[in-house]
Chain A
Amino acid sequence: MTEEEKIKETQGEALKSIEEVCSDTWEAIYRFIYSKVQNRQEAEEITQETYVKALAYLQKNNIKIDKYTAYLKTISLNILRDKWRKNKRQGKVINIEAINPMEAAIDDVSEASAQRELVQNALDCLNEEQRLIVELRIIKGYSSIETARIMNKKEGTIRVIQYRALQRLSEILKNNELP
Chain B
Amino acid sequence: MSNNEKNLSKYIDSLNEEKKPKEHVRKVESSELEELMDTVRLVKSLREPAMPASDYPDKIVRTVTNELSQKTEAKKISRGWFLGLSTTAAVIIMVIAISLTSSFGRNNIIYAMEQAFLDVKAYHGILEIKGMNAAGKDTIQAKLEVWADKDGRYYLKRIEGLQTGLTTVNNGQSKWQIRPDLKQVQIFPAFPDPYRFSFELGKEVKDVRNAIKTKQIGEEQVSGREAIVLEVLPQGGEAYKLWIDKETKLPLKKQSAMQNALQYTITYTDIDYIAAIPAELITYKLPAGFEEINTNTEQLVNNLQEAEEALGFEPKMPESIPTGYIRSSIAVELDTKLIKLYYTDKDKQSKVVILQGKAASSLKPASTAVLGRINSSIAEIQSPIEGNLGVLSGGGAYAGITNISSIRWQEDGFEYAVVGDVSIDVLNMFVEGIAGAKLQSSSEDDSLTAKPQITVPVDLAIEENEQKSVDAGHSPWKLDPVFVAQVFVSLQISPEGIVGDYPIKYEAMKVVQNNGKEAIVEVNDDKSPTSKVYLKKLIRQDSTGIWTVVGYDPIGK
Contact = CB atoms under 8 A, between A and B. Distances in A.
A83 interface: yes
Interface in B75-96: 77, 79-85, 87-88, 91-92
Which size class do B's interface residues fall under? 35 or more
A119 B46 contact: yes
Q: Is the interface of A mostly helix, strand, loop or mixed?
A: helix
Q: Which has the most chain A C-beta neighbours within 10 Å: B20, B59, B82?
A: B82
Contacts of A31: 49
Interface in A20-77: 22-23, 26-27, 30-31, 34-45, 47-48, 51-52, 55-56, 58-60, 62-64
A87 interface: yes
B118 A41 contact: yes
A173 interface: yes
Q: Which has the most chain A C-beta neighbours within 10 Å: B36, B38, B49, B77?
A: B49
A26 B17 CA distance: 22
Q: Is the interface of B mostly helix, strand, loop or mixed?
A: helix
B59 to A, nearest CB: 7
Contacts of B68: 52, 55-56, 59
A143 B151 CA distance: 13
B60 interface: yes
Interface residues of A, number: 69
A19 interface: yes
A109 B462 CA distance: 66
A116 interface: yes
A169 interface: yes
A120 B46 contact: yes
A2 to B, nearest CB: 15
B111 to A, nearest CB: 13
Contact of B5 (A42, A48, A89, A163): A163
Given A7-B84, A26-B57, A48-B63, A139 B44 contact: yes
Given A11-B91, A18-B64, A119-B45, A40 B39 contact: no
Contacts of A162: 5, 8-9, 12
Contact of B20 (A14, A30, A41): A41
B21 A123 contact: no
B85 A62 contact: no
Contact of B80 (A62, A123, A138, A139): A62
Interface of B: 1, 4-6, 8-9, 12-21, 23-28, 31-32, 34-36, 38-47, 49-52, 56-57, 59-61, 63-65, 67-68, 71-72, 77, 79-85, 87-88, 91-92, 118, 276, 279
